[in-house]
Amino acid sequence: MKNTTNEPFRLALSYDDVLLVPHYSDIPSRKLIDLSTMFSRRIKLNVPVVSANMDTVTGAEMAIHMAREGGMGIIHRFQSAEEEANEVRRVKRAESLFIHDPITIRKEATLRDALDLMAKNHVTGVIVCSPERDILGILTARDIRFKTDLSVSVMKLMTPKEKMITANRDIGNIEALEILDKHKIEKLPLVDKNGKLSGLITASDYKKTKESPHASKDKRGHLLVGAAIGVKDGMERAELLVAAGVDALVIDIAHGHHNTCIDLVKKLKKKFPSIDIVAGNVATAEGTIDLIRAGADAIKIGIGPGAACSTRIVAGSGVPQLTAVLECAKAANKFKIPIIADGGIKNSGDLAKAIAAGAGTVMIGNLFSGSKESPGEYYIEGGEAFKIYRGLASRDASIDMVLRGDKDSDRQDRTPEGIGYRVTFKGEVRKILQGLLDGLQSGMSYTGARNIKEFWKKAEFVRITGEGMNESRPRSHQV
């Protein structure tokens, strides 16, 4: 044992054990506070929040909305590798002024085929092409609005090439928008010098880009997205996710300070040097350093703080999250590698404390699980709307994973280290996130910090007692 009997144990604190001390500020408005941050070695976000890689939190819909708001979503791995890669593709396709690989269809296909293809890819039009990518026509909502016979061939319904407006693939954004406006069209296919289809610009993407000026985007203008992989099929899954355009691979292991995680980081870095690899979860400086030395580009911190976690009760293992974040951030800072404070955020005050303690970003599950954008429909009970939230290591999630053919075959026999329950339906995630960010900006303004780096330097915590916590809570004085 590392402890001797009379030695006082090291004290470890959680978010509720502390408060941030207010300091002098000359910031005129908290809206001027810059929340941009590093998620990983090469990925910059405009807001320091990512949605958790959980099957009741992040699918493509959530990831799209998180990225539009300046954060990022991490697609869960509780689905086949192909399904996960499709989700990544959907995010990558969701918003871009320039779509590099537009959805195409053959002229022999029927209207039924076209509708299926559009629904599957969440698009409102397809370009009709020859196998050599020569444009033959375009099929949009306008062409099929009043058509009821689904067996008619696409060829008969499309707007033919002669009537289409196309542009050269080198066209500038402003010029493209002028064409869309002048001809009152929604889609502008782009052709290369040989007249072959080579891209697409859409009016709806332009509108979305204008509506979310702070969206997190890659160099080509596509929304950023991360995706989770496990240890067993990590390399195979990574291959499909990288081909789908993923920006960061997040290793999803309960105990990341493990030789299997270290080995996987090394292999991934070797095979995919241009993709940022996030490793975890760990709760110690030692774990953080070992994963950074293996090549990780960000470290995920948190053993057992999550709202659906029972690891600390089942295994008796973990470190209260504030101390874990403080210690791991200090260790990672020496290598200039960001950390992600994962789990345990109950309110915007916790978010402020996690960032003040040194996290680059915070990962959130429970608070986003009741949103419209989390996977699954809401249901009504007793006149109230609910969604389901469940831990990745809960019994239900494990059974589902085995049914889906997960390679981790003893999963359902293990003692669960997570629970599942219903959460109140809360509407759009954008609003939930905005509430959290408002609170964070307020916390930073009380510290006198204009940006996250200043927050790290100026933040000072005081430890509080149970009475301090009681005093902190709003209450009525009526007896």
Which residues are part of the catalytic machinery? 309
| Beta bridge partners of residue 420, listed in sequence order | 390
Report yes or no: 340 and 43 within 8 Å, Cβ to Cβ: no
Which residue's CB is nearer to ligand XMP, number 70 or number 416?
416
CB-side neighbour CA atoms (13 Å) of 89: 17
Which residue's CB is nearer to ligand XMP, number 154 or number 440?
440
Q: CA-CA distance, 357 to 38, in Å (whole number)?
A: 15
The CB-based long-range contact list for 451-460 (8 Å cut-off, 24+ gap) reads 451/33, 451/34, 451/35, 451/36, 452/34, 452/35, 452/36, 452/37, 452/48, 452/355, 452/360, 455/355, 455/356, 456/356, 456/358, 458/23, 459/20, 459/356, 459/357, 460/20, 460/21, 460/23
For residue 52, state whether it binds ligand XMP (rule: CB under 6 A): yes
Size of the site for ligand XMP (CB under 6 A): 24
We find the least distance from the C-beta atom of residue 283 to ligand XMP, in angstroms, to be: 11
For residue 302, state whether it binds ligand XMP (rule: CB under 6 A): yes
Residues 325-364 that bind ligand XMP (CB under 6 A): 342-345, 363-364
For residue 258, what are its two tokens? 């493990």
Which residue's CB is nearer to ligand XMP, number 221 or number 435?
435
Q: CA-CA distance, 461 to 176, in Å (whole number)?
A: 53
For residue 54, state whether it binds ligand XMP (rule: CB under 6 A): yes
Residue nearest to ligand XMP (CB): 418
Residues 307-326 that bind ligand XMP (CB under 6 A): 307-309, 311
**In the set 199, 226, 306, 349, which binds ligand XMP (CB under 6 A)?**
306
- What are residue 379's phi and psi, to 5 degrees? -130, 160
Which residue's CB is nearer to ligand XMP, number 206 or number 421?
421
For residue 427, what are its two tokens? 């509407």
We find the least distance from the C-beta atom of residue 230 to ligand XMP, in angstroms, to be: 13
We find the least distance from the C-beta atom of residue 395 to ligand XMP, in angstroms, to be: 10
For residue 95, state whether it binds ligand XMP (rule: CB under 6 A): no
We find the least distance from the C-beta atom of residue 394 to ligand XMP, in angstroms, to be: 5
We find the least distance from the C-beta atom of residue 374 to ligand XMP, in angstroms, to be: 11
For residue 418, state whether it binds ligand XMP (rule: CB under 6 A): yes
For residue 63, state whether it binds ligand XMP (rule: CB under 6 A): no
**In the set 275, 391, 426, 459, which binds ligand XMP (CB under 6 A)?**
391
Measure Cα distances from 262 to 207, 228, 242, 252 in Å: 43, 16, 20, 12
The closest alpha carbon to 282, from 269, 265, 307, belongs to 265
For residue 452, state whether it binds ligand XMP (rule: CB under 6 A): no
Q: CA-CA distance, 187 to 140, in Å (whole number)?
A: 9
Measure Cα distances from 418 to 139, 216, 439 in Å: 48, 31, 29
For residue 230, state whether it binds ligand XMP (rule: CB under 6 A): no
For residue 417, state whether it binds ligand XMP (rule: CB under 6 A): yes
Residues that bind ligand XMP (CB under 6 A): 52, 54, 281, 302, 304, 306-309, 311, 342-345, 363-366, 391-394, 417-418
